[in-house]
Each structure stands twice: as C-alpha cells, then as structure tokens.
Amino acid sequence: MCGIIGILGDHQAAPIMLDALKRLEYRGYDSAGIATVRDGVLDRRRAVGKLVNLADLLVEDPLAGRAGIGHTRWATHGSPTVANAHPHRAGRVAVVHNGIIENFRELRAELGGTFESETDTETIVRLCESYLSEGLSPKDAAFATIDRLEGAYALCFLFDAQDDLLIAARAGSPLAIGHGDGEMFVGSDAIALGPLTDRMTYLEEGDRAVVTRAGARIFDAEGKQTHREMRRIRMEATRIEKAGHKHFMAKEIHEQPQTLSDVLNTYLDGDRVAPPGDYDFAATDRVQMIACGTAHIACTVAKYWFEALARLPVDVDIASEYRYREGPIGACNTALFVSQSGETADTLAALRYAKGQARAILSVVNVDTSSIARESDTAFPIHAGVEVGVASTKAFVNQLAVLLCLAIRAGVQRGHVSPARESALVGELRALPGIVSSALGIESRCEALARRLAEATDILFLGRGPMYPLAHEGALKLKEISYIHAEAYASGELKHGPIALVDRTLPVVVFAPMDPLFDKTVSNMQEVMAREGQVLLVTDAEGAAAASEGVWEVLVMPKVDPLLAPILYALPAQLLAYHTADHKGTDVDQPRNLAKSVTVE
C-alpha cells in the first residue's frame, strides 16, 4: 500500500526521495508528496496522480534540504486530492503515515477547530503540534501523540528547526531503519532503501525510534530503550527492472521457471522432500490455513493436497473473517498463514489471534524478515524474489509449490505417502520448471484469444477438484487488471444457478486436465454449449482429443500428474488475464484502486 521514505543525508533529499518513492510505486498509490527542512525551515510539496506530477512540481517549485520525508498514498480516508495527500502538516510538525487510525474521530472532536483534509492522518500532526505548544520537546511530543493512537500505523515525523531528527514508529504496519555512513534512512520496506544502504533494522510491533545521523535509539511498546538486530540485505533482492518486458507482470510470468526451480531446489533433497525448518505434522489433528486474496486461493488448492496425501483435515479461512468468527482453535490444531509480503494486516492480526491457542504457528512467506515470518514458530520461504506487479504471479506459483511440498512431507510423516510415491512425486516436481518453461509457448495463442476476451463484459471460469480454486484465480486475475467482471464456480454448481447467465455472448473458460474428474467436467461443459455459451477449454492433448468438438477454442497444455496441474495451469490463467488487460490498455502493473501490500484491515 502506501510507501514511506525518510532521509537524514549528506545530499539534497528531494531527488533521492523521489527515486525511492519511484521504487515504491509497485505498492499502489494515487498521490505523493515530500517535506524537507532547510536552514531550520519546514516546507512541503504534494501532487495528485503519478509521481511524474510531483517531479514536475518540484522543477517549477524546488524544495531544498538534506533532511526530509516522502510518501505515496493509497486513499483510505478521503479521495485523492492535494489536501488529502501526505505529508500532512500542522505548524511545526509534518508526518507521513501508512495504516488507519481507528480513534481519529474522537481525537478530532477533542482537538476542535477546522481540519484541512478528510484524513485520519491530519489528526496525528494536529495532536503532535498541540503537545509542542505545551512545551514538550519534539521527541516527547511525538511519543505522547503515538501513545494516544489506536489502530495500525507506520509513522515518520519531521520537525521545523530540526534538520537532524526523525521520529519513527510502527504498530501493525512495517517500517525499517537504514544505516548509512553518516546518514540514516527510514522506509516502509527494503526496496525503498536498498540502493541507499544494505544495513537494515526492522522495528518490532509497538517500537518507536529517535533517528539522527549518529544512529537510532529504539524504544519498545513500554517505552524502554531496547536493541534490535541490524541485518544485511542482499542488494539484488531490492533491484526492480523490467528486463526488456513491457510490464513487470510479463517479466514475472516469464521468471516462473527459474523461481520455481529455485524454491524446489531448497525443498527437495535427492528423492525426498526436505523443507527448511521442518515441522512434524504427525501430531496435529487439523490444519487451519488463513490468508487473503491470491494467497487464500493457494490455501484452497492446498486443502485438496493435504487431505488427499496426508489424510489431514484442513479448514481454509479468509484472514479478515477468521478472528472475528472467534472460532475454536484446538491445542492439536496447526495454524498456517500464507502471505506474499508477510505484512498483510488481516493475516498478521489473525496470526496474533491464533498464537498461544494453536499447537504451532506456521507461515509461508516471500520475505523472511517480515512480521509474519518473525512471529511464526516456523516460516517456510517461497524464494520468489521481488514481485512488483500487483497481480501476483510467480509468488502464487511458488506458494503452491511450497504447500505441495509440505503436503507431501505431511503425508510421509503420517504414513500415507510411501517412499516410492514420494520419490515419484519428487521426480515430477523436479521436471516441473522445464515443463512450465515449455508451456510459455502458449503465449502467442493466449494473446490471440485475449483479443476476443477483451470484447466481453462478463466471463465465467469453471473447474472441478483443485481446478476449482484455479478457476477462482483465473477470474481474480482477469477482473483485477482488465476490469472485466468475472466469476468462478465449481463445475458441478453450474446447474444450481449460474447457468442462467449463459448465452452466446458469455465466454466460459474451463480448466480441465485429463484427470479422474475430466468426464464430469466435460458433462458440465456440454451444458454450457447446449445454451450457446462460448467455451474456451484449457486442457492437455488427451483432453483436447476427447472433448474439443463444439467448443469455441482449445488451449492445449503439457501433460502433468493431476496433482501438479494447479501449478502448471496457473500459467494460462495469468497469460489470458495479462494479454486481455494489455489489449484493453489498462494499467497492468498498477491497476486502479488496488495496492500490492495491503497493510490496513
């Protein structure tokens, strides 16, 4: 979501902050701004829309200073306007803020007066200024303000007449401090800070920090000064480039053979599955999988795998609903959380609800320094690398690969997967990156089909078994980047309502590899064609030979073990969505209203 940068540097801060904010564009935003202190004077510039608008403003009205804060905003309270853009300022203090202040209305009523914006964030600077007016120091005023806030936030304060001071704080939204040589930095993630320094300190929940060029003093939620580990990050992990592709999403689709190979090399050892940070599933009675969005779909696929391979019951919950249900968590239940960023606010809150109740807290994450990884008993990395496109591609595929490896491991531990079966599955997994690479050959075919799909106003996706959640993934990808309304159904549910939608104008995408459910899926497909629905059948050569008569189009995939099909069939779901959106001319990497890392509930 929103991006934060803070600098206490040796050089003019504005161009450095603009560059850092550019690296944070992938998170999604609708306005941007910066503030600096020069010769003791605090000033700011803000603009609506893309960062180029802020850059143009800074050419016309420059902003000097070696200390500053910057922000890209994704609107929560108030529409995208200059008045609602960050940094917000009141008198001697400016602040940038990620998250939501839940008690801002009460604080507004207490402060009184006229507010310039519709945001919750303006309440923070107004409150801090009131404490400054009472004679508190900038540090004490900021800390007193933070003590009054309820909700989720990452904050960075900048003060008039203070060109060597930033106050940073986090609660429910990530924030990192970067250490330079005589310079210090604050950022919402390592990507913002990567080119500036490779030395990072990640604030823990409730932390606040006093940052000067000499270093950072960190205080915990109780106000006690504490030590947080400084970590060195791999600079390549922060590099963002399209590598000749038109969009980041296209690049990330094409990276999947390599990233899939990377993660499988970590989880496979010879002819066995050997996850890093192994966990014994033999003692658990049930697994609860909790996630949001695409990660939730990955969990839904994994439910089929765990129940089939390990005979282990699995409940899948949407994180934003999970803790509010207040469902029972048995002491023998294992809670497994999936998040690409490792900072998803709903998922993190659900994890904290389950902690102390479940037998163990496991996570599947892409960022091993993230809050979810750090707060889990065992974190399983997916090794997908930086993913910039808002619509997840390689992270989703690697989540599936890790979850399948864990399901196989659980099956072995519980005595339901024999050594011979494990060895056979490992052989299939080792071959999968090469199969995915060859399957990229369907792209030109997907591009041609997308020209037809782009003319539709509604599209239906169908699948059975583990292809049912894949249908959801296809619909989600299409709607989020092409803005075409799409829905997914289990094929057997078609006649229980959705078939009323079918006519000659409705494209129906059917995921149907030749598996034990193939004939059932074909029967449902025939129901669509009998009502003149336009069926796009995505299957393998055997399936195409058996069931292509009468369909609108067929997209032929390589043959794989049905257990691995969801991983491979993610590719056509992605390519059809990508090329449909590209043909329509939508913003593929930064679709409207969406953000990459959702750090508000």
Q: Active-site positions?
A: 2, 596
CA 522 vs CA 232, 509, 511: distances in Å: 53, 12, 10
| C-alpha–C-alpha distance, residues 256 and 260, integer Å | 6
As a three-state string, the secondary structure of 401-464 is: HHHHHHHHHHHHHCCCCCHHHHHHHHHHHHHHHHHHHHHHHHHHHHHHHHHHHCCCCEEEEEEC
Q: Report cis status (omega within 30 of 0) of the bond before 275.
A: no
Which of 174, 119, 111, 165 shows the shortest CA–CA distance to 142?
A: 165
CA atoms within 13 A on the CB side of 331: 0
Strand partners, 408: none
Q: How far is CA 130 from the centre of its chain?
A: 37
| C-alpha–C-alpha distance, residues 227 and 220, integer Å | 9
Using CB atoms within 10 A of its CB, is residue 214 exposed (0-12), middle (13-18) or buried (19+)? Answer: exposed
| C-alpha–C-alpha distance, residues 543 and 550, integer Å | 14
Asked whether 174 and 599 are in contact (CB, 8 A), the reply is yes
Tokens of 82: 């200059």
Tokens of 353: 């609800």
Could you tell me how many helices (H) and strands (E) the chain has, helices first?
Answer: 19, 27
Q: How many residues does the chain have?
A: 601
Using CB atoms within 10 A of its CB, is residue 195 exposed (0-12), middle (13-18) or buried (19+)? Answer: middle
Strands 162-171, 41-48: parallel, antiparallel or unpaired by DSSP?
Answer: unpaired
Q: How far is CA 407 from the centre of its chain?
A: 23
User: Other CB atoms closer than 10 Å to residue 281's CB: what's the count?
Assistant: 21
Tokens 């200390």: give the residue: 67
The 8-class DSSP code of residue 547 comes to H
Strands 534-540, 553-557: parallel, antiparallel or unpaired by DSSP?
Answer: parallel
